[in-house]
Amino acid sequence: MNMRFSSRDCFSQNVEDSIQKNISLATYNTFRFAYRAEFFAIADSLDVLKALLAWASRFKHEVTMIGGGSNLLISGDVKGLVIVNRLTGINAREHSGNLISLTVAAGENWHQLVEFTVNQGWFGLENLALIPGTVGAAPVQNIGAYGVEIKDVLARVQVINRLSGDVYWVNARDCGLAYRDSHFKGKWLSTLLITAVEISLKKQGRLLLTYGGLSDRLPAQPSLKNVFDMVCQVRSEKLPDPKTLANAGSFFKNPIVSQDQHEVLKARFPNLVSFRFEDGFKLAAGWLIDQAGWKGKQFHGVGVYEKQALVLVNYKDETADSLLLLEAEIKQSVYDLYGVNLEREPVQLPSLMYLDHATNLETLN
């Protein structure tokens, strides 16, 4: 393998000294599960990140990068080096006409970025207010809410190859962005880490108000700020704040079914909540779980949130064992009732998808 990291120097030595051993990850995941990282470090600059990756590469340690830890299900101790991404910096370029290009480092807080853009009067991110987590995590699961996904405004993603240390930009259209999915969760999981994103916003834009439950509560001619405020209000009413009740947002994806399957289900369950999606329909998983009787249920320190059945919460458990059992029970009961498979939304750690180094290099081509 052709390594492009520089040889050990004073800087690398300092970075090496900052690596801690056997650290609890309880405060680094919003479920607050208390598993441990074998090695742990914080990257607050690209140079530090490169040096950490060089160290991990030298000792053949796996690398896991985490942002805000708000879309993570940690279910065991994590081997190798866990790096918390704290890269910061926002750079805006105004183009002639209507366009703003925003380059944002991956460790910036997502909601603060949305608030900043709304205060500037820039259109594009307002429907994505109050989503917990960092900017670098946003493309990983293609965050979305109220009819908008980051895919709609994302131009490019800056990545670092954890094996070679190369930093480069990937066009958004090559990142496999789909409903709560991307290559960063799949074939790039163990090789490419996100260091920054470039987002395109508009000075004069159109508000997207098609999502029922949002538009119903807005004035006739809402402003950008009205939409931002309403999204914050609706989310606060429905979703638990991870600072006060441990959770990782929607625990399941809304399942997508064919037109035929949808027809059969609609005949059996006339109140089924569903939306047209590509060639089929997206079902509201929250409705399926709710109707199956799970909403508000508690089980060995974990439970189903009382106001939104799609959210699983952790009241006091230090391990993910009960949550995994609850997940299995919910999936089984939804399958028995509707014949629909629920898929988990958060990313699991330790990852089951670590590949060996040689395979990693191949999958990048």
Q: How far is the CB of 206 from ligand EPU (least distance, A)?
A: 18
**Is 306 tagged catalytic?**
no
Q: Which of positions 300-319 make contact with ligand EPU (CB under 6 A)? A: 308-310
282: β partners: 256, 275
Please select the residue that binds ligand EPU; options are 89, 213, 296, 339, rule is CB under 6 A: 213
Q: How far is the CB of 346 from ligand EPU (least distance, A)?
A: 8
Catalytic residue among 180, 190, 235, 322: 180
Per-residue b/e over 211-220, b at no fewer than 16 CB within 10 Å?
Answer: beebbeebee
Q: How far apart are CA 21 and CA 11, in angstroms?
A: 20
**Is 86 tagged catalytic?**
no
**Is 206 tagged catalytic?**
no
Beta strand 78-85 pairing with 36-43: parallel
Q: Which of positions 262-291 make contact with ligand EPU (CB under 6 A)? A: 273, 284, 286-287, 290
Residue 292 Rama label (left phi>0; alpha psi -120 to 50; beta)? alpha
Q: How far is the CB of 71 from ligand EPU (least distance, A)?
A: 7
Q: Rank residues 107 and 242 by Cβ distance to ligand EPU and give the closer one.
A: 242
Q: How far apart are CA 241 and CA 30, in angstroms?
A: 10
Q: Rank residues 107 and 255 by Cβ distance to ligand EPU and give the closer one.
A: 255
Please select the residue that binds ligand EPU; options are 146, 188, 228, 338, rule is CB under 6 A: 146
Asked if 78 and 96 count as a contact pair (C-beta separation under 8 A), the reply is no
Half-sphere exposure of residue 308, counting CA atoms within 13 Å on the CB side?
19
Q: Which amino acid is at 120?
A: Q
Q: Is 337 helix (H, G, I), strand (E, B) or coil?
A: helix
262 Cβ contact list (under 8 Å, min separation 6): 274, 280, 281, 283
Q: How far is the CB of 146 from ligand EPU (least distance, A)?
A: 5
Residue 218 in the binding site for ligand EPU (CB under 6 A): no
Catalytic residue among 108, 198, 327, 345: 345
Q: Given 3-state DSSP classes, what are the helix, strand and coil percentages for the chain, each rounded to the nearest 5?
A: 30, 30, 45
Q: How far is the CB of 303 from ligand EPU (least distance, A)?
A: 13
Please select the residue that binds ligand EPU; options are 57, 85, 250, 360, rule is CB under 6 A: 250
Q: Which of positions 328-357 make contact with ligand EPU (CB under 6 A)? A: 345
Please select the residue that binds ligand EPU; options are 78, 114, 118, 145, rule is CB under 6 A: 145
Residue 295 in the binding site for ligand EPU (CB under 6 A): yes
Residue 107 in the binding site for ligand EPU (CB under 6 A): no
Q: Is 140 helix (H, G, I), strand (E, B) or coil?
A: coil
For the beta sheet containing 36-43, the strands, ordered from the edge strand earlier in sequence to the opposite edge, are 20-24, 36-43, 78-85, 63-66
Please select the residue that binds ligand EPU; options are 254, 274, 314, 360, rule is CB under 6 A: 254
Tell me which residues are annotated as active site: 180, 250, 345
* Contacting residues toward ligand EPU, per CB under 6 A: 145-146, 211, 213, 238-239, 249-250, 253-254, 273, 284, 286-287, 290, 295, 308-310, 345
